[in-house]
A and B are shown apart, each in its own frame.
Chain A
Amino acid sequence: MRTTSFKSRAFALVSTTALLATLVVAAPANAAATDPVCNGATPVQTCTGKTSDGALYEMRVPATFDGTMTIWSHGFGTNTNIPAGLLPIFPLGNPIDPRPQIAPAGDTALIKYLTDKGVAVIGSGFSTQAWNLDEAVKTNVELIGIFKAKFPTTKKVVAWGYSMGGGITQALAEQHPELLSAAGVMNPVDSWNAQSKYLVDMLWLMKTWFDPSIKLTGYAAGVAGDMQMIQDLGKYLLILQSLQAGVATGAWPTTSSASGKALQAAGIPSRSALLMIGRLSGISSTSSSFDGVTGPAGAAATAWPLAYAPALGTLENIAGVLGYALLGARDMQTKMGGISFDNSKTDYAKQLSDEDRTVYNAGLSGNTAIAGMLQTLNPLNPDAPRIKGEAAAVAKSASTMYQNTGKIKVPTVMMIGQHDPVEPAGIVQRISDLYEEDFAAEKDAAKKAAQKSGAYKAPARKLQVLWATTPKAWSKFNADGTPISITGTPGTGHTNFSTAHYKTFIDTMLSAATNGVLPWNGAQLSKVYKAKNLVIDRDTLYPWMKYYTN
């Protein structure tokens, strides 16, 4: 973990004028399929080419190729070019990037780790970015075929990916289990419906209370729409900056809506509204800097983790997901030709779980404050206008977007952080829970079959989840009681895995591919334990995404 002064991490403001001058329009992909061109290098040769949809691909094939190939699906990429130095959440810029990726963040050590084992490592850059699940599955299917044609000794194919790529990998395994020997799914996106609800709920709630001038929907086409979205992003960042400054005093952003101002006048601190947004959308209140159990020494040791830490953890996590949320929302409106999200009938009061109402009661400032906040979200409140989906876009979304079922058809290893702000642990929890039901049914069927045959053949468990966990406590405070910002805390953040985590994950999926079953022996448990902050645990429960529970 790395620590810096929390005060020095204030969010920078966005220069929208500069952004307007530097926006670049994305060029549409237009490519024909090409056979792999290999350089013949040893000990690992590199082959490149393009799939029929124009996706650039790369293959690294060791001379010791043993017939096992991994195909990587990368995470969410932007469809809007954001130049470096303009947005604090993208300090190095966030350009449209079609380059092929074959491992997490192109990690050369992990690529070598695989090729040293005689495993070929391939992947593409995909033909389109952002929410590209349907396109990416097609690309991957084609790419597997291209590889097999070039390297006919291929026996085992292992698909893996994280974030958006995790969802792509899961979709590929659901739709084409015949192509795969194993799957490795890291912090996957949920289905579009669940994922968009998670992100847009958070954006809508922030807009509704803290700055109703935020557009959020109905962006114009092209660069003008990109500009509107980036202006929104700037406003969200200003809100976060204001909330951070007002954590102690309870002050609300000056841009707050009439409803927000009424809540402020009622004595409800902005930190309670911020925490409420986190609880309603399902964002973890535990973050890289805030463990929720440690307070500054002295009289506030108990009160601080109850009243302040959950709000600050929520804020830090929202900051971590904000860019993805807005880029994703904008991208989908472009792809669907309008607004496909609809919260006109959402009962937000029902989205506050009974457990959250109790556990976070002090942070939410009590039942009266909770009721007051929820009242302002009533659909009849004209100051909280709902988002009404556009029929054509909703229909297009429903008919064209693949919704992951969570069904496990090939041996699959999953890995996710306990407090990932972008893809909450509940995404994997749901898949795990659903699989437990399937597995129980499979066992029952095996028992029934045994009654006829006289021999019981136990089914093999096809899902193993590796949970990346936090330390027990990690928050730190200056002598004056102010919190210290901490980055990289295990179990928090997005795709925050150590090399040991990745290697354990890789070994697990390769073992499953080789043996046809996942490893459950002592050696596997030992390996997971030694990776640190990693556990196989089906006893801790994480709440499902709100889409499924409301």
Chain B
Amino acid sequence: MAATALSLSVMPAQALSPRSEVGVTSTAIKLGITLPLKGSASFGYNQLPAAMKAYFDYVNANGGVNGRKISLVVKDDGYLPKQAIQNTQDLIAKDKVMAVIGALGTANNKAVASAVNLGRRGIPSLFVNTGFSGFADKKAFPTSTTILPSYIMEAKMIGKYVKDTFPGKKACLLYQDDDFGDDALVGFDKSHGNLDFAVKIAYPSLSQGVAGVPDSWVSKFKAGGCEVQIVFGVATATLYTVLAAAKAQYAPKWVLGSVGADIASINPAAAPYIIGATSMSFLPSVVDPKDEYIAQFKEINTKYNAGAKFNSWALIGMNTAFITVQALKAAGKNPTRKSLLAAFDKGASFPSAGLVPLNYSKTSNVGYNGYWFGTFNRSGDLVPNDTFTYTPYTTDSGTGDVVKSTYKRAAMPAKGLPN
């Protein structure tokens, strides 16, 4: 099938200038994001735009990107694919953004890729906020880049962690019965993470909220003698499972996948049972007292994010914005959509807060590729240990080994402003 952009003959005259790029003027660069700001899937994610804006505002106050100030148009999709399609169409056609950044969700990004056709239109969709491994397909998603390690990588690393940390213990798995869970199953299978489960339960998305359903899961896990409980689901699945476990006095070692490990949304006060659970991150702990990125982002957050708490969401949002600014700079003095994508193709090794590397190159649109493991403390923050010493692991979405990362993170640029 072939489809092209609207013919020049029907485009407004101002769009014809070869020197201009949609969303870029001599003084401004406009970006857009669609994600849930309200509704049951919005918790935490709805804090990302403010954090991103805070960092952009900080950059703008310090001269912008080559004199251009960055703005971010934010749209609420309620985590609904049809709304994400509409929002993306509006961002492109009405708001005229240069690029979409940080769009959330596997289903939403797939729906948008298919219906809005970003790839063929050359419109960048940077840092899609999902670990579904399919987005690493550069042919299928030629203008997208990922930022999260894939769910396959994640499962492989959990497999190694569980085998190393709890040898001989009975492991059990709760996973979401869709692309997300499919990736997990690949990551745990014989040729990848090679972790066996005594009990394995797939839950259809949304079923976690049905009364009695999480109790039935816990009943099966308990009956199966599970000692290590892995939850590879969304935060509400973790919450309801933990609550059901408390009720049933089911007390395994909890290992929570990255998506469902938003301990702040679970609220340890309501579910103290979860304190001490294991999870993972590719960014430093937000309570790390010695990390220079954390210190700088925290300072910016205090000044530009209306006093919002500096938490994992603020860190993720600022780090994404920080990389965005570097990509825009790498796109040249007069950035275009094409040069912005080319900046990733060139394999620019953008400094970031990540403790594992970004992997962008001409053949890879993949962001981070590793995690460190830690436990949740009483305030719901993930920490590696008392000394904040990290042991990051890295791997790929194939059959490569999980190995300790040797990555040396670049220093934070002066004042947190990329050169």
Contact = CB atoms under 8 A, between A and B. Distances in A.
Interface string A296-310: 000101110111000
A540 B115 contact: yes
Contacts of B203: 366
Contacts of A437: 2
Contacts of B89: 539-540
Interface in A485-532: 520-522, 524-525
A358 B110 contact: yes
Interface in B6-58: 6-7, 9-10, 12, 36, 38-41
Contacts of B4: 436, 440, 538
Given A301-B39, A355-B114, A307 B82 contact: no
Contacts of B39: 301-302
B177 interface: yes
B291 interface: no
Contacts of A303: 40, 206, 209
Nearest to B86: A472
Interface string B166-191: 00000000001111011000000000
B15 to A, nearest CB: 13
B115 A433 contact: no
Contacts, number: 127
Nearest to B4: A436
Interface stretch (A28-36, A176-184, A216-224, A286-294): A286-294
B86 A365 contact: no
A538 B7 CA distance: 9
A286 B182 CA distance: 28
Given A302-B41, A361-B179, A366-B178, A541 B78 contact: no
B115 A367 contact: no
Contacts of A538: 3-7
B202 interface: yes
Of A291, A358, A525, most buried by chain B (CB within 10 Å of CB) is A358
Contacts of A433: 1-3
Contact of A539 (B1, B3, B83, B178): B3
A366 B202 contact: yes
B79 interface: yes
B6 A537 contact: yes
Contacts of A306: 80, 205-206
A372 to B, nearest CB: 11
A192 B171 CA distance: 55
B106 interface: yes
A245 interface: no
A362 interface: yes
Question: How many B residues touch the partner, as a band?
Answer: 35 or more
A38 interface: no
A8 interface: no
B63 interface: no
Contacts of A369: 177, 204
A520 B10 contact: yes
- Please report whether the interface of chain A is mostly helix, strand, loop or mixed according to DSSP: helix
Contacts of A477: none
Nearest to A464: B10
Contacts of A453: none
Contacts of A430: 1
A520 B7 CA distance: 9
B120 to A, nearest CB: 9
Nearest to A472: B86
A472 B6 CA distance: 22
A229 to B, nearest CB: 36
Contacts of A251: none
A156 interface: no
Interface in A345-382: 354-355, 357-359, 361-362, 365-369
A536 B10 CA distance: 9
A292 B82 contact: yes
Of A432, A436, A522, A541, most buried by chain B (CB within 10 Å of CB) is A541
Contacts of A432: 3
B117 A539 contact: yes
B73 interface: no
A540 B1 CA distance: 13
A416 to B, nearest CB: 16
Nearest to A307: B206
A368 B41 CA distance: 23
Contacts of B220: none
Of B10, B86, B209, most buried by chain A (CB within 10 Å of CB) is B10
A437 B40 CA distance: 44
A367 B121 contact: no
B116 interface: yes
B81 interface: yes
Contact of A440 (B2, B38, B176): B2
B97 to A, nearest CB: 14
A359 B78 contact: no
A52 to B, nearest CB: 41
B107 interface: yes
A324 interface: no
A540 B182 CA distance: 29
A452 B15 CA distance: 31
Interface string B188-215: 0000000000000011111101000000
A365 B203 CA distance: 9
A494 to B, nearest CB: 21
Nearest to A543: B114
A364 to B, nearest CB: 8
B114 A368 contact: no
A302 B83 CA distance: 11
A432 B206 CA distance: 38
A474 interface: no
B117 A541 contact: yes
A367 B178 contact: yes
Contacts of B86: 293, 472
B9 A461 contact: yes
Contacts of A299: 40
A521 B116 CA distance: 24
Contacts of A542: 115
Contacts of B251: none
A359 B10 CA distance: 33
B113 to A, nearest CB: 8
Contacts of A147: none
A354 B41 CA distance: 23
Nearest to B106: A358
Interface in A46-70: none
B348 interface: no
B111 interface: yes
A547 interface: no
Contacts of B121: 539
Contacts of B182: 367
A358 B177 contact: no
A292 B80 contact: yes
A11 interface: no
Nearest to A525: B10
A540 B107 CA distance: 17
Contact of B181 (A359, A367, A539): A367
A524 B9 CA distance: 11
A369 B178 CA distance: 10
Interface of B: 1-7, 9-10, 12, 36, 38-41, 78-83, 86, 89, 92-93, 106-107, 110-111, 114-117, 121, 176-179, 181-182, 202-207, 209
Shortest 7 CB-CB contacts between residues of A and residues of B: A366-B204, A366-B177, A302-B39, A362-B205, A361-B178, A433-B1, A292-B82
10 contacts: A305-B80, A362-B204, A362-B205, A365-B204, A520-B7, A537-B6, A539-B3, A539-B121, A541-B114, A541-B116
Given A303-B40, A366-B207, 5 more contacts: A293-B86, A302-B80, A355-B111, A432-B3, A461-B9
